[in-house]
Structure 1
Amino acid sequence: MSQLETVAAFVEGAPPGELADVVADIKVLAISSPDIVSELAPAFEKYNEEQLITVKLPGSSQPVLISSHNSLGDGRYYDAESASSFAVDHATQACREVQAARDEVLTFPQKASAVQSHIIEGPQADLVKSTSKSLSTYVKEHFANAAYGVYPIESDSKIAVVIVANKYSPNNFWNGRWRSLYMVDPAAGNLEGSIKVDVHYYEDGNVRLLTNKSVSASILSGTGAGIAKEISAAEKKYQEELNKGFVNLSEGAFKGLRRQLPVTRQKIEWDKVTSYRLGQDIGGGSSKR
């Protein structure tokens, strides 16, 4: 693996809101190659698309997503709901997304540029619109701050449904991101996708939660409301699974990391703690004077 490939892997694996820190480390580690960061444009693009980074369209308060599913190529993307396309500078956007994390804001730090009209046409246009409308209601009800997108996949008459929600708290040493992606086949009446959760906690340590939950469901109605309903059910179920898993972890594995009783298997009588001789009375051994 070349040095550039190794460094690109660091970029692509950066935790939510921490890309600037990774880039800073890269500059230190690759001090003999000062131009290496300028060669990372493809890695920044891959990171932005996979992490579903958001931008703001001029004159709008609604965030729009960057993903492979709404890419037009050459750094341009489209948003079906606003019927527009826009350009993104991937390197700049990646760094400004990090600044948003440091400021603990949940907004979209960069405005897209070169906005143009982009009308969605084709057999899936109506389903895209109805799904987007129903999804808006669901997202606003269940996420504090999130962005979503619905995009037609013309090659196989499917639609892609994408949701991302970020929560940054670097002052408390943690950042997190929820990403969900679903491919909907209206003709077959099914939905396939995944839910990914990425949370990094780094106070006096380095703990990262990475999940990838596969989702499969049937869509009985074949409407936008029916699609949103199945997504809601799947994500509610996964949230409950996560909550249950955290409880089991706390009550099981974490509890097993420390003793419930001292090695003597006797509880300490705290009202007599000042009279204990540490080596002899608690540890069970002989004390030296």
Structure 2
Amino acid sequence: MDGATDDHKAGIAKWFLLRSPPGQIQQVAKDVQKILMSDKLYQQAASEAFPIYNMEQMICLELPDGSGQVLVSNCGALDSTHYLDLRTAQVATVDHIKQICTKIRPATDEELPSGFVEEYRSAIDSELLKYVEEAFPRGSCAVFCTAGSTAEEDDAPFELTALISASKISHQNFSSGSWRSTWKIQVNQELQSVDLTGKVHVNAHYFEEGNVQLDTNYEGSDSTVLQNPLDVATAVVNIIRSKESEYLLSLEESYSKLSDNTFKELRRKLPVTRTLFAWNNALQLSLSREVTRELSNLLFYRSS
């Protein structure tokens, strides 16, 4: 970084921090700090990068009193360090760089949705929690009201956002991965409809004797009829389960074809050695075998 200004150096450091694989920003931060050789520049970069990274990764932190967890996300952010946990009706103060929750306080009435909206939100949250506990090892979820939080029975439509965050970090096995999904739920009382639009983001990183990453997205949508809160919750979570399972199956099918299709496209058909590559034995090769195994494991195989 010789010749670069301090702002430029901090900007480069921030770039590297933001592109850390799931669960690895602390390790990247240690290397960045050594390269910068300046605590001031490191703090500048870290103070900007960590909040963005934590919200993008939707990290989940234990509450200090052990009453639950808070999911760090844009949906629950009250400001840059305070995050709402509607399940416990508390506000958590987060130290982004240390990635810990330092204290909590009760949420005020103004920070909570109306009683009518809360009926739907809490019902979906309870049903979503069951799904996540079944499907995702060490997974977390939360449901927020992201529009129309003051809506009452005869008022304007409102929007809920369901978040799912699950990760598998195994540094000793040189692998990490995350599954993050965001489902926006539009509740329209006038039309008696509930519309869903969702996005799933999967990232897997395998770095033993190399550096291989998978970074892929899926988008889906569906709708159901507006009913009572419990029936709506069941319908909404069934849609989410169906869409995500469908996407997972498509990924598994892609992995099964890695050796036959993807890796072939990465190699010259006739290498400079003029020796044809034995594709019929590709599964015996370390890269093919290990990537297929590790990436499949990182997608949290689920029992049906």
Aligned CA distance change for structure 1 residues 263 and 55 (closer, same or farther; 3 Å): closer
Task: Give the ranges of 4+ consecutive aligned residues of structure 1 lying more than 2 Å apart after TM superposition.
Answer: 1-6, 58-64, 114-121, 219-222, 250-259, 262-266
Which residue type is aligned with residue 14 of structure 2? Answer: A
Answer yes or no: is the 8 Å Cα contact 1:131–1:228 preserved in 2: yes
C-alpha distance in 2 between matches for 1:23 and 1:238: 33
**Aligned residue number for residue 142 of structure 1:** 135
Contact kept? 1:56, 1:112, Cα under 8 Å: no
Structure 2 contact 64–104 (Cα < 8 Å) conserved: no
TM alignment of 1:90-101, pairs within 5 A: 90-93=96-99
Deviation, 1:71, is 0.6
Distance 1:89 1:245, change over 3 A: same
Q: Which residue of 2 aligns with 1:194?
A: 199
Determine which of 93, 103, 113 is the counterpart of 2:103.
113
> Is 2:51 aligned against 1:55?
no
Q: Residue 126 of structure 1: CA displacement?
A: 1.0
Match of 2:16 in 1: 10
Tell me, yes or no, if structure 1 residue 254 matches structure 2 residue 259. no
Corresponding letter in the other structure for 1:113: K
Alignment partner of 1:208 is 2:213:
yes
Say whether the 8 Å CA contact 2:174–2:206 is kept in structure 1.
yes
CA distance in 2, matches of 1:175, 1:264: 34
1:16 Cα deviation from its structure 2 partner:
1.0
Q: Aligned equivalents of 1:14 and 1:264: distance in 2?
A: 37
Give the unaligned 5+ runs of structure 2: 1-6, 149-156, 279-304
Q: 1:96 aligns to what?
A: none
Deviations 1:57-79 (CA, angstroms, capped at 9, x unpaired): 23436432000100111411111
Distance 1:202 1:51 in 2: 19
Q: Is 2:183 the counterpart of 1:174?
A: no
- TM-score, normalization: structure 2? 0.75
1:255 offset after TM fit, Å? Answer: 5.5
User: What SS does structure 2 have at the residue aligned with 1:15?
Assistant: coil
Per the alignment, do residues 264 and 86 of structure 1 end up closer, same or farther by CA in structure 2, a change over 3 Å counting? closer
1:241 is the counterpart of 2:250: yes
Relative to structure 1, is the Cα distance of residues 29 and 137 closer, same or farther in structure 2, using a 3 angstrom cutoff? same
Match of 1:38 in 2: 43
CA 1:138–1:3 in 2, change beyond 3 Å: closer, same or farther? Answer: same
SS class of match (1:87): strand
Q: Closer, same or farther in 2 for the Cα pair 1:258/1:48, shift >3 Å?
A: same
Where does structure 1 lack aligned partners over 5 or more consecutive residues? 94-109, 267-289
Q: Which residue of 2 is the match for residue 154 of structure 1?
A: 147
* Cα distance in 2 between the residues matched to 1:265 and 1:149: 49
Distance of 1:245 and 1:129 partners within structure 2:
36
**Structure 1 length-normalised TM:** 0.78
Pair member with larger Rg = 1
Percent identical residues: 27
Checking the alignment, whether the CA contact within 8 Å between 1:131 and 1:225 is kept in structure 2 is yes
Q: How much is the aligned-residue C-alpha RMSD, in angstroms?
A: 2.5
Match of 2:234 in 1: 225
1:87 maps to amino acid: T
Residue type of the alignment partner of 2:137:
A
Question: Partner residue of 2:286?
Answer: none
Distance across 2 between alignment mates of 1:264 and 1:46: 47
1:153–1:264 CA distance, 2 compared to 1 (3 A): closer
Q: Which amino acid in structure 1 is aligned with residue 253 of structure 2?
A: K
SS of equivalent to 1:225: helix
Q: Which stretch of structure 1 is more off in the superposition, 126-135 or 52-61?
A: 52-61
Distance in 2 between the 1:254 and 1:118 partners?
55
Alpha-carbon distance in 1 for matches of 2:117, 2:57 = 25
Which amino acid counterpart does residue 116 of structure 1 have in structure 2?
P
1:85 counterpart SS class: strand
